[in-house]
Structure 1
Amino acid sequence: MLPQLSDVVVISVEVSDAVVTVRARTRSGVPAGCTGCGQLSTWRHSRYARCLSDVTLAGRPLLIDLSVRRLYCENTTCPKVTFTEQVPGLTVRYQRRTPRLQGLVEDVAVVLAGRGGSRMLRILNIRLSRVAVLSQLMRVPLPPLVTPRVLGVDDFALYGGTYGTLLVDATTRLPLTLWEGRDAERLGRWLRDHPGVEVACRDGSLAYRQGIATGAPDAVQVSDRFHLWQALARRVQDIASAHRGCLPAALPPISDAAPASVEEPLENTTADTRAERHARRLFEAVQALIRSGRSHSSVARELGLNRRTVSKYARARTWQEVVRRPPRKFSTLDPYLDYLQQRWDEGQHSAKILHEELQAKGYLGHYQRVKMAVAPLRRGLPLDEPRERPPSPREAARWITTHPHRRTPHINDRMPRLLESCPDLRTAHDLVRRFAAMLDNRDATSLPEWLEDLANTGLAPLTGLARALREDRDAVAQGITTPYNSGVNEGRITDVKLQKRIMAGRAGVRLLRHRVVLIAHLRRRFADRPTASPR
């Protein structure tokens, strides 16, 4: 039942409601190795008692009162005169916990950190404060760092406006280290201290590009394809924002006789709501200051706005472009509006009866919603039928970047009208599809031609992207053609955020590094263990 006591002689076992106490002693005449030189000795000097805590037994703490020998070292050249024998699997020098209990404390500390680990150990009837749990955690040595052949580099939000850098072995998918900041100098120093990196996966960061070039000049740099696609999608969204007036063209026309006009300017629309009046005031103030020759930073300081907000209002052609329009929420009553109109025309004006009839047809909503829906009919007004809103710039960008085979019939119906009404969005759509074909086929031969067409579009977001990609063209080509990417980095960054939240965001960099590295190896160790199938 207690295999850790197989090498000692058990004298007695006392069981109480609070604790289980085992009294034992080591066997006499059995040679023990000196802790200084390793030579075996049986020459006893004396005995003394050690009190050891072990894992709980039947829910009770287990204490082991162990009598051990102090022996003379028979090696005359050894600096130790006497030493205390150690029992494998039961005792460790300078430790009052058995290896089993110490391993349990360390694993709980790695998984749950200080306060959470202390609570979990209390459930297991092991009393340790959160400070003691953190102390045991920091005593756990990190696994030896092996220089990876394929290195992943990415940044993550540490706290506030401070960012950190995470390095991951892309082959084993295990984190290597992390630190505060994302400067090129420290990354280059780490690479020089750990030579042997052949491939480095990163995003489009200039700092990481320079750090890899200085620290590992022979390494092949790979610009991650996800970040490339994300950068292109953001530029498409910027184009859609600049052409917000074209987005209503995606909606189906109201009738063939009177199609909805999408080219009509929106400057004459009055600001009715509070948000619209606020947007109009800010738009007029920003535009007036920009026309006077002021910079965006000075306008932001004078108006008390963020510089990005000022840039957004300065780029807009009308104040309607910057108004936040919340999307209309779908109502569960919408499929039954035609039936409500039919029953109202037949003379049924009781909202209660109409609600009961809708329930029989499968409507699960509340009576109050039906009552509010028929209220316009009582005043001689038509039903408030659902009106489809035009797509937002983000939705339009998602339509363009979605693969044609994965688009829904709803998107396929509206996309041709949108692209026909806006040549700039059609240009962006064609360029996106060409880049997607390069990614699908892993063929970068047409990349120079694509970058040339991107730069010649005359669209500021795309020309800026073309300039950035040209500076990093070799890494972009590697990202398109090679199987290496930063996907494992993104997964590890998600894990870093989880560990930060477990510690309520109060973890220092040293503690966070310790937990991120150790918990990854702990999961790998337990994931490799075979599990017994239930009988």
Structure 2
Amino acid sequence: MASITTATATCPSCQTASRRIHSRYTRTLHDLPWASFTMTLLLHVRRFRCLVSTCAQQIFTERLPSVVAPFARRTQRLYTLQQQCGLALGGIPGALVSQQCLSPISRTTILRFIQRSPDPLHPAPDVVGVDDWAFRKGQTYGTIIVDLERGTVLDLLPDRTSATLAAWLARHPTVRIVSRDRAQAYGEGIRLGAPDAVQVADRWHLMKTVVTALNEVLVQQAAAWEPALQAVLVAEQPVPAPTAVVPDTDPLPDELPLPSPGCPHRRARREARYLAVHSLAATGLSIRAITAATGISRNTVRRYLRVAVLPDAARRPRRMSVLDAYKPFIQERWAAGSVTAEQLFTEVCERGYAGKRSTVKAFVTHLRQPTTPHSALPTLPRPRAISGWICQRAAERTGPATDWLARLHRVHAGVSCALRLTERFLDMVRERQRPLLEDWLADAAASDLKPFHAVARGMGQD
């Protein structure tokens, strides 16, 4: 329990000292814990009458600003500790730590403390970075401005327009250098708001732009390079000797059939969606309007509009099987001959197999099929995998990645040109070889690849 001993109190409205006590009451305050005990402070305070008859507040309570805020239920030092805990950890982790420190508090209260904290004071920025960020991914985007010298966020703008960015830069005339992505709106906003500032396109965005162009080339020309690459793989495969088919002397009536090699109805549905998107785009509808009319996501609509031929659906990775650990043993026993699916099932069960009989029989059925030169062909790489290999330094690539890139260079001239342009640009940026940029832009503009035409044109404008 505590009480205030001063004889007078100051009116918060007119700042007049008063000795006239109106009444008394008790405030219950939570305070910092002591040892292993939670502390509750009972503070006896007085209400005073203001001596100024014209004052708007005739009755007031004596204040203790260094101890507790008006109407607060916890002391100022406990409030500060919990607020700093929330700023460092967040809502739920901060509430858990406070609970362990004998200062229980809910996560929502910690979040309110964080929202009440004043904005930090930043010195005048000199070098800033501008990029877009998502309030809600795929729906609402704004602009984030970062002080690159101190690594702190300066502001979050509500949209990505040039006018909003120009207004912010006009309020901060000390900005000399702006690092941005290659969006035209940001470039225009910087020219309007800070005409003397140096605009810098950071190398991550430059490299991403070129790699995106490579992906577009690979997707657009997949109908040409994938069959050619498949033919090269077939030619590289050795022709194995035909294997004898060992009849199953004890066939089981419920053997599982092989799965269907394709799903034509899914392909037809994708083709219908693809044609519908292009038909609506031909009428002049925007991407947002096409999305509303078809129910297809905007990213899928953009992907369909970027390609002239519908690409194949992404291949799903093969699922792991409980039989994988026993397949080498089954193949070895099958090659020895004179075994049946039932015998193999019994033998793998003795070695710890806990799966179904049908799984073993399906694998044996697959082994019964005559081996052809096309049965062991590796899966063709996807465009994203090819882009990942190109992004690696030549000395860091694995052997298979180097072999795949060499095949791609041989099978298709357009893909080979795109790979060379991408690799040259990445090496140029890594080594900071500025004099080589003009030659690269000229080669990209002279190529037959439209995505690289757009890259060269945009970089030339920058």
Query: Is TM > 0.5 for Structure 1 vs Structure 2?
Result: yes
Q: Does the Cα contact within 8 Å between 1:275 and 1:323 map onto a contact in 2?
A: no
Q: Does the Cα contact within 8 Å between 2:290 and 2:301 map onto a contact in 1?
A: no
- Bigger mean CA deviation after superposition, 200-209 or 113-122: 113-122
Counterpart pick for 1:173 among 151, 154, 158: 151
* CA offset digits 1:434-486 (Å, max 9, x no partner): 212221222211111111111000211110111111111xxxxxxxxxxxxxx
Do the aligned partners of residues 185 and 326 (structure 1) sit closer, same or farther apart at CA in structure 2, a change above 3 Å counting? same
1:253 lines up with 2:230 in the alignment: no
1:326 match: 315
* CA offset digits 1:128-156 (Å, max 9, x no partner): 694x6555443321112322111111111
**1:404 offset after TM fit, Å?**
1.1
Q: Does the Cα contact within 8 Å between 1:337 and 1:385 map onto a contact in 2?
A: no
Give me the TM-score of the superposition, normalised by structure 1: 0.64
Counterpart pick for 1:65 among 32, 39, 42: 42
**1:395 offset after TM fit, Å?**
2.0
Counterpart CA distance in 2 for 1:190 and 1:139 is: 24
SS in structure 1 opposite 2:166?
Answer: helix
2:268 match: 277
Q: Does the Cα contact within 8 Å between 2:130 and 2:178 map onto a contact in 1?
A: yes
Q: Does the Cα contact within 8 Å between 2:45 and 2:61 map onto a contact in 1?
A: no
2:256 match: none
The amino acid of 1:193's aligned partner reads R
The amino acid of 2:127's aligned partner reads V
Counterpart CA distance in 2 for 1:340 and 1:274 is: 35
Do the aligned partners of residues 206 and 313 (structure 1) sit closer, same or farther apart at CA in structure 2, a change above 3 Å counting? closer
1:436 match: 426
1:198 match: 176
Counterpart CA distance in 1 for 2:152 and 2:303 is: 41
1:230 lines up with 2:208 in the alignment: yes
Do the aligned partners of residues 305 and 94 (structure 1) sit closer, same or farther apart at CA in structure 2, a change above 3 Å counting? closer
Q: Does the Cα contact within 8 Å between 2:233 and 2:377 map onto a contact in 1?
A: no
Spell out the pairing of 1:120-159 with structure 2 (5 A cutoff): 126=104, 130=108, 135-159=112-136
The amino acid of 2:233's aligned partner reads P
1:352 lines up with 2:345 in the alignment: yes
Counterpart CA distance in 2 for 1:313 and 1:28 is: 78
Do the aligned partners of residues 68 and 216 (structure 1) sit closer, same or farther apart at CA in structure 2, a change above 3 Å counting? same
Counterpart CA distance in 1 for 2:13 and 2:295 is: 69
**1:425 offset after TM fit, Å?**
1.7
**1:105 offset after TM fit, Å?**
3.8
Do the aligned partners of residues 114 and 412 (structure 1) sit closer, same or farther apart at CA in structure 2, a change above 3 Å counting? closer
Counterpart CA distance in 2 for 1:438 and 1:191 is: 32
Counterpart pick for 1:409 among 390, 399, 403: 399
The amino acid of 1:177's aligned partner reads D
The amino acid of 1:236's aligned partner reads L
Q: Does the Cα contact within 8 Å between 1:352 and 1:367 map onto a contact in 2?
A: yes
SS in structure 1 opposite 2:43?
Answer: strand
**1:200 offset after TM fit, Å?**
0.9
Counterpart pick for 2:196 among 218, 221, 238: 218
Q: Does the Cα contact within 8 Å between 1:355 and 1:367 map onto a contact in 2?
A: no
Q: Does the Cα contact within 8 Å between 2:161 and 2:185 map onto a contact in 1?
A: yes
Spell out the pairing of 1:345-384 with structure 2 (5 A cutoff): 345-346=335-336, 347-349=338-340, 350-355=343-348, 369-377=359-367
Q: Does the Cα contact within 8 Å between 2:277 and 2:290 map onto a contact in 1?
A: no
1:480 match: none
SS in structure 2 opposite 1:324?
Answer: coil
Counterpart CA distance in 2 for 1:113 and 1:96 is: 21
What count of residue pairs does the alignment treat as equivalent?
420
* CA offset digits 1:81-133 (Å, max 9, x no partner): 99957485x34566442122211342355467778877876785646694x65
1:97 lines up with 2:74 in the alignment: yes
Counterpart CA distance in 2 for 1:285 and 1:92 is: 64
**1:353 offset after TM fit, Å?**
4.0
Do the aligned partners of residues 92 and 223 (structure 1) sit closer, same or farther apart at CA in structure 2, a change above 3 Å counting? same
Q: Does the Cα contact within 8 Å between 2:182 and 2:205 map onto a contact in 1?
A: yes
2:410 match: 420
Do the aligned partners of residues 340 and 86 (structure 1) sit closer, same or farther apart at CA in structure 2, a change above 3 Å counting? same
1:457 lines up with 2:447 in the alignment: yes
* CA offset digits 1:185-214 (Å, max 9, x no partner): 111111111220111111011111111111
Do the aligned partners of residues 176 and 420 (structure 1) sit closer, same or farther apart at CA in structure 2, a change above 3 Å counting? same
Spell out the pairing of 1:470-485 with structure 2 (5 A cutoff): 470-472=460-462
2:294 match: 304
The amino acid of 1:273's aligned partner reads P
Q: What runs of 5+ residues in structure 1 fail to find an aligned partner?
A: 1-22, 72-79, 260-269, 473-535
SS in structure 1 opposite 2:124?
Answer: coil
The amino acid of 1:101's aligned partner reads L
Greater RCO (CA < 8 Å, at least 6 residues apart) = 1
The amino acid of 1:149's aligned partner reads D
SS in structure 1 opposite 2:196?
Answer: coil
Q: Does the Cα contact within 8 Å between 1:271 and 1:280 map onto a contact in 2?
A: no
Counterpart CA distance in 2 for 1:323 and 1:200 is: 41
The alignment-based identity, stated in percent, is 28
Counterpart pick for 1:400 among 390, 409, 418: 390
SS in structure 1 opposite 2:425?
Answer: helix
Counterpart pick for 1:342 among 324, 327, 332: 332
SS in structure 1 opposite 2:435?
Answer: coil
Counterpart CA distance in 2 for 1:305 and 1:127 is: 45
Counterpart CA distance in 2 for 1:178 and 1:316 is: 35
Q: Does the Cα contact within 8 Å between 2:128 and 2:146 map onto a contact in 1?
A: yes
Counterpart CA distance in 2 for 1:317 and 1:70 is: 80
Do the aligned partners of residues 369 and 214 (structure 1) sit closer, same or farther apart at CA in structure 2, a change above 3 Å counting? same
Do the aligned partners of residues 421 and 162 (structure 1) sit closer, same or farther apart at CA in structure 2, a change above 3 Å counting? same
- Bigger mean CA deviation after superposition, 231-240 or 246-255: 246-255
**1:402 offset after TM fit, Å?**
2.4
* CA offset digits 1:231-277 (Å, max 9, x no partner): 11111011111221313555663455889xxxxxxxxxx98532223
Counterpart CA distance in 2 for 1:452 and 1:286 is: 34
1:188 lines up with 2:178 in the alignment: no
**1:375 offset after TM fit, Å?**
3.1
Q: Does the Cα contact within 8 Å between 1:164 and 1:182 map onto a contact in 2?
A: yes
1:207 match: 185
Counterpart CA distance in 2 for 1:170 and 1:352 is: 64
